[in-house]
Structure formats: structure tokens, C-alpha cells
Structure 1
């Protein structure tokens, strides 16, 4: 912020901003002083002036991460998962670096270290795609620090190379896997897991959407459900099958309030339950999100059109739904072959 004062016939101007060294100069005219102050402030906004190294030397990456975790993350959707990611990141030596010393090379070393580590409770290494998701909150943190907290630093993740091969999953339930899953739920303590699995297959809803359903969102008479906010940020109304409604009715107690959750379980708890469940069932390579893929594929196999499926799944572009087109290949082949006549028409 610039301050001006007239002294000994000259205008003295001083520009103070957190993270930058104080800039001062004197001019004969007030107009020149104001113009110079605006120039300095624009240069600071564009990061054209070097940051105050003294300020950056006093802030560690750990301090920045902790502040972001405590002040910003609680306001975000998915805050529980993001908090876990940030707490785990704080255990790495890179967090002891000051912002003055932090470079892209430091994150490159961290990247290489993470890609060699096994996933939690698994002997498989962390994938570049998983690591990219972990780094996303940190990248947002750096941008927020510059804009909102006026900490003059450059995002060290901007130049980090992370080759991600987007292998879109096409995993569907194999014969007998659903029965094995449901049978294994009987050995678990949480009795909500089986209804959640069946509801996911009936509705093609995402895990986060399912776990935020309140009974007031359900129209039991019209067999419909309001999803107030989806991953894309939009609300939508979807039709429910009678099986889906029956699942919800079985969970609704006589004294249930409209704001009560239909599936009162946290995302973290469900994730842990899913890992234990698939292990008990002896099923490899099946994620909970694959149930959504299975459900959408089944909708296409029922003969629903792309707009009809999109109205249920929440996809907003045709490209997003094209990955499910393989589900209908058998139907397409049948149509191409035409009806069987039992006798060739060619002689």
C-alpha cells in the first residue's frame, strides 16, 4: 500500500507490501509520485519485483501446509480426504525447507521417492495418476498463498514433470463377483455396505453423492431423488428403480427426520470397509467407483439413449460417456447381423 507525504517541497512516496522489500522515492510533483507508486504495485502483482527473501526465509513449507489445512481445507468438499493427504505430506523432509530455498528440484526428488513407495496396505507402487491427485491440493495452496495471503512466491509445482497415462478403467463385475461381495458383507460389522453396493448398481451414483443422501431428497411416491450437488457442481434429479426405493425404505426408521442421512457412514470408513470386503471376497482390481461404470453400462444395455443415461449419471458431454460405449457392442453385432431366417436368400 502506498503512502504519500510532502516534505521540504518534495513528495515522498513509500510502498509497503507483505513479502516485498519497502520501496521509497521522492518526486517534485504529486502526480509523478502517484504514477510511480502504481507502477511498483503493478510490478509486485506480476511478480516482476523480487520477493523479500527475508520474509520467505522465515516461513517453512510445513508452516504453509498447516495454515492451508487449518484455514482453507475445512471449507472444501472432500476436506476429510484432503486433510489426510496433507498430514501425510507433512511427514516428509521437504516440508522442513523454507519457502526461500524451496525449488522444483525438491519436488522432483519427492516425486521420485513417492513413486517408489508402496501404496497404503498394498505392495503395489504409487501410480503417477495417484501422485498427481495428491499434489493437486499443494498446487492450489501455492496459488492461494500468492493471491490471498500475498506471499510472493512462485509455484514450484508449475515446472514439475509427471507423466500420467490416462488409462480409463473399463472394469466390470465378473460372473459371480457380486454374489461373493454380498456374501462377504455378512462377515463385516457395518451392515450398510451391502445396501450401498446394491444402491450404487441401481443408480450409477458416485460414492460421495450416495453418502450425502438425506431422506428429504427422496420422493418415494414419484420414485425420484434430488442430488443437490454433484462432482461437477450441478444439481440433478434422477429416477429411481423400485429396487433402489426399497433399499431406502428399508433403512428409513419410523422416527427418521427429513435431514437424516440414508447411509450414515463416512467416506473414509466406507473406503476401509471396501478394502476389507474385497480382500475377504478374494476379488482383485475392483474399485468402488467401478460399480458406477457397471451401472452405466447396464443402462446402455437396457437400451437407454445417451441423453437418457446422461440425465441419470450426470455426465455433461458425449465424450465423457463414450468410454461406456463398449457395453453395447453385443447388441450392435446382433443388429448388424439381422434376424435369422434359417435359409440364405442368395441362390
Structure 2
């Protein structure tokens, strides 16, 4: 059963008296009647009351179908919609778009944060902050730089990123969002961040659209994300270690290990002194004792510390295994098998576990590390980042990232000309072999040797105009054999009959 209700506003007007013009909500007819009565009794004017025709609410109830409710701008549009829906339901092709019309993208964003986001790998690390940042920008709760007040008692949150102002379309009905809305946001972001960052943000938006339309069944006539044009960029790095950079890197890592080993030894020696300082009556005496003990313990530690080659081993581990930084930091001793010379990585970037082959010299380096419970490299990503900066500064190396060591490792393996792209895929852990095409040129020599092996046993002949011809190398070989043979009678020359 379909019903149409006029929900347009009521209008009260007086001829030639625009100052008495008033509008009332469709739910407040009594107030409009009272105003008309007041104009007639108090002012002596004859008021005219009428209802506009720009808002018609349609409700369709039918057994076996969800409740349909939508507002149209004209009675003709409402009648057309009812006729179309009834015909589509009768033929079994009806698609309900009202569900998407009654929800905003902001609402879908909040639902995604609660239900879908936590299911994804990397959500807690980065994606969650991007989604919550959009919501904060919509509410005007963020500002670039120091904290400020926006007129209320609560200061706005200061953030390192630049807040976006081109996201008000997120408050539009889901069906009303257009491609131009999203591209306006993209153009604004390209002015303040790198194209690669914008590309990842587009992936986040696309994920919400995909889940909303395919999982939550918010139907759209046309998905605006399908026509969004991504920014073009090329950020593929090809940084290789040059000349003696590898040795300089190891030497600098050795110095960093020495500093860390001394600090660990100092903390061991300082344990009793710190405990004694806790019993002193004043902070001044505590600090004085700790300072004196620290100087003394450091002198002793520099003489009898045990060198732990943590960062030196880490550098070689990254190159020799081509592991990602996160894979190396999450590696536990329980997952390292020295007999099988392998290291098992349970969680990788692409979601598939893999085993890293360990070269013999790398196994010997790993055995020099303390094999306690927990991680092989017991440091955090933040600690590693700071140590890496110090290592590069000490080695006087610029523009080298930890991930570049992985690229170096894969390149070195490819340059040996003993491994195919499939072997490289197993070594690098790439899910798609196309990611390794950048190393294909390094495997050319290996392919040439394989071709020689494949065709070396075949007869070296060519075909020209239907006749087989020996290649020049074969001709020379046969000629040489004939010349050395005394039983061969020459067919051409002075002695030919």
C-alpha cells in the first residue's frame, strides 16, 4: 500500500503586505491558523493560508519487502516513483535506493571504524588515525600546530598533519555524493602532501564505498569512486650501496653496538647504586649519588663490557635475507632453526607466512647475539630509527633507508645469475611476481646460460629457401677436419679431375 503525504511548509500572506509573510512547518498547522486569526482580529487584514507543493513524503508498505520511505520535490515525481517501484516489484527487478539516500558518508565512516577497520592488517598502526582524522576535520576539532580555542572552553586538538576543508561532502546523503566531490578533496590534499599519500587515502575511501555497497547493501545507481582519477607519481627507489658504503655502514654499526653494549653494562653496574639512592632523604642527595656512581661505572664498563653486535648483525641480516624491517623486528628466537638454517616469519606484509633462508656466515653472526627469550633484535621501531640515523651520520652516508637494504639484498642475489625470477620471488617474499620485474635485467646473464644449455645439443643448422645450411662455426669445423685428413680427395683446385 502506497501513501503520499504533503510535508511542504504552510504559508500565510497578506496582499500587498509583505511584512506579514510567515512560513510554518507542516507539523504546525495550528500555529498558522492562529496567526491568520490574529491578523484578521488585531490588524483587520484578510490573511491567505496555503501549503506549498515542494515536499511529498512517500511511504510504501508491502508484505515481503522492506518499508520504503522517501521525500520527493513534486507530486508528479512521487506518483512516478510509486508506479516504477510497483512495476519493478511485480517483475522482480526492484532495487531499493532509499536506504542509501537516508544515510550520510559520515555515518558509514563511523560504522566502518567500529565494525570493519579492526579486521584489517595495519589498522591500528596507521589507517585508524586517518579515518578518525576525517571525523575530527568534519567537526572542526583539529588545527595545524599549537592548541587553539575556537570560542568554546575546550581547545581544538593540535595535530602534525594539515586538516582538510574539502570533506563537507561526507555529510551529504550517500546517493548524492559525486566524483567531483572526491576529486576536490584530492586536489586539496595534493597541495600539502605527496601523491603517494593521497593514493593511499583514496584506497581508504574506496574501501568504505566497497563495504557499504557490497556488504551493507547501500545501493547506488553509480559508484562515484569508479570514475575517480588517481594522482600519477613514480616513487620507486633504486638506491644501491656504492663502493665502500657497505663496509662503512658495518664499521659505523660496530661503533653503535659498542655504545649500546657499554650502556647496558653501565646499567648493570648502577643497579646497586640506584637502589641505595632510593633510601636517601632528599632528591639532591639522590641525584648527587647517582651522578657520581654513573661516572665511575662508565669508566669500569668501558674496560670490561661484553660487545653485542646487534646493529651490525641487523644490517647483514637485512641484506642477506632481504627481510622487511617489521619482519626482522618481530622475529623470535623460537622461530630460528640453526640446523635447518631458516627463520620462520609468521606474519608478513602480504599476510602469508614465509621462511627466510640463512646463509652460513649469517648463522655464525646470529649465534653471537644473546639468545634469550623474546626477539632476535630486541629493539623498537622508534629506537631503530634513531640508531639508524646515528649510524648513517657516523658513516657519512646520505639518502639510505633501512628498506634499501632489502633492495640491495635482492639485487645481489639477482646479479649472481644463478636464480630465476621464481627463485627471487621465493627469496623476497613477494606475492606477485610482477613486483620483481624491476630485477629482470639482472637475470639476463642467467637466462643466456640457460638458453645455451637448452640448445647446445641440437644440430647447428639453418634453413634458407628450403635448403639446410650449416652455420659458419660448423663450416669451419668441418673444413678443419677435412684438411687434417689424408683420405679426403679435394673436389676443387688444380688437381681436380
Aligned residue for 2:63, secondary structure, equals: strand
Quick one: structure 1 residues 15 and 265, their matched pair in 2 at CA, closer, same or farther if it must change by over 3 Å? farther
CA RMSD in angstroms comes to 4.1
What SS does the aligned partner of 2:200 have?
helix
Preserved contact between residue 139 and residue 155 of structure 1 (Cα < 8 Å): no
Q: What is the total number of aligned residue pairs between the two structures?
A: 292
Counterpart in the other structure of 1:21: 69
How do residues 60-139 of structure 1 correspond to structure 2 at under 5 angstroms?
60-61=105-106, 63-79=107-123, 80-90=125-135, 91=137, 92-96=164-168, 97-100=170-173, 101-118=176-193, 126=194, 128-139=195-206
Are residues 139 and 277 of structure 1, via their aligned partners in 2, closer, same or farther at CA, if it must alter by over 3 Å? farther
Structure 1 contact 199–247 (Cα < 8 Å) conserved: no
> Structure 2: how far apart are the matches of 1:113 and 1:277?
38
Q: CA deviation at 1:98?
A: 1.2
Higher mean alpha-carbon deviation, 306-315 vs 320-329, is at: 320-329
- In structure 2, what is the equivalent of residue 305 of structure 1? 419
- The unaligned stretches of length 5 or more in structure 1 are 1-10, 23-32, 119-125, 334-347
Deviation, structure 1 residue 161: 0.8
Task: Specify whether residues 276 and 66 from structure 1 end up closer, same or farther in structure 2 by C-alpha distance, changes over 3 A only.
Answer: farther
Please tell me whether residue 159 in structure 1 is matched to residue 227 in structure 2: yes
Q: CA deviation at 1:155?
A: 4.3
Q: Distance in 2 between matches of 1:268 and 1:286?
A: 17
**Alignment pair present for 1:140 and 2:184:** no
Q: In the alignment, is residue 198 of structure 1 matched against residue 245 of structure 2?
A: no
C-alpha separation in 2, matches of 1:173 and 1:321: 19
8 A Cα contact 2:199 2:231, kept in partner: no
Distance 2:234 2:63 in 1: 54
Higher Cα radius of gyration: 2
Retained in 2: the 8 A contact 1:132–1:162?
yes
Say if 2:409 is the partner of 1:295.
Answer: yes
- Matched residue, 1:340: none
Question: Is 1:81–1:268's contact at 8 Å kept on the other side of the alignment?
Answer: no
Report Cα offsets for 1:69-111 as digits up to 9, x if no partner.
3432222222212223334444323444314153322221221
Contact 2:354 2:429 in 1 (8 A): yes
Superposed displacement of residue 194, structure 1: 5.2
Say if 1:197 and 1:291, in contact at 8 Å, map to a contact too: yes
Q: Partner residue of 1:55?
A: 102
SS at match of 2:206: helix
Are positions 1:219 and 2:324 aligned together?
A: no
Q: 1:30: which partner in 2?
A: none
The question of whether the paired residues in 1 share the 8 Å contact of 2:167 and 2:185 is answered with no
**Secondary structure of the residue that 1:289 maps to in structure 2?**
helix
Question: What does residue range 187-336 of structure 1 map to in structure 2 within 5 Å?
Answer: 195-254=313-372, 256=373, 260-265=374-379, 283-306=397-420, 307-315=422-430, 319-327=434-442
Q: Which secondary structure state, in structure 2, belongs to the residue aligned with residue 202 of structure 1?
A: helix
The secondary structure found in structure 1 opposite 2:355 is strand
**Cα pair distance change 1:238/1:60, threshold 3 Å:** closer
Higher strand share: 2
Partners of 2:419 and 2:446 within 8 A in 1: no
CA contact (8 A) 2:320 2:409 kept: yes
Cα pair distance change 1:273/1:165, threshold 3 Å: same
Distance 1:221 1:326, change over 3 A: same
Greater relative contact order: 1 or 2 (C-alpha under 8 angstroms, separation 6 or more)? 1
Confirm or deny: 8 A CA contact 1:238 1:311 kept in the other structure: no
Q: 1:4 corresponds to which residue?
A: none
Structure 2 equivalent of residue 36 of structure 1:
89
The TM-score, its normalising length taken from structure 1, stands at 0.66
**CA offsets per residue over residues 244-301 of structure 1, 9 Å max, x none?**
33454444444x1xxx333355557656765676577665443332221100111123
Cα offsets for 1:1-27 (capped at 9, x unmatched): xxxxxxxxxx9525217xx638xxxxx
Relative to the length of structure 2, the TM-score reads 0.49
Instruction: Tell me what 2:241 maps to.
Output: 173
In structure 1, the residue corresponding to 2:330 is in which secondary structure? coil
Give the CA deviation at 1:142. 1.6
Distance 1:51 1:228, change over 3 A: same
Q: Which residue pairs with 2:459 in the alignment?
A: none
Do 2:417 and 2:445's aligned partners in 1 also have CA atoms closer than 8 Å?
A: no
Separation (CA, whole Å) in 1 of partners of 2:399 and 2:185: 27
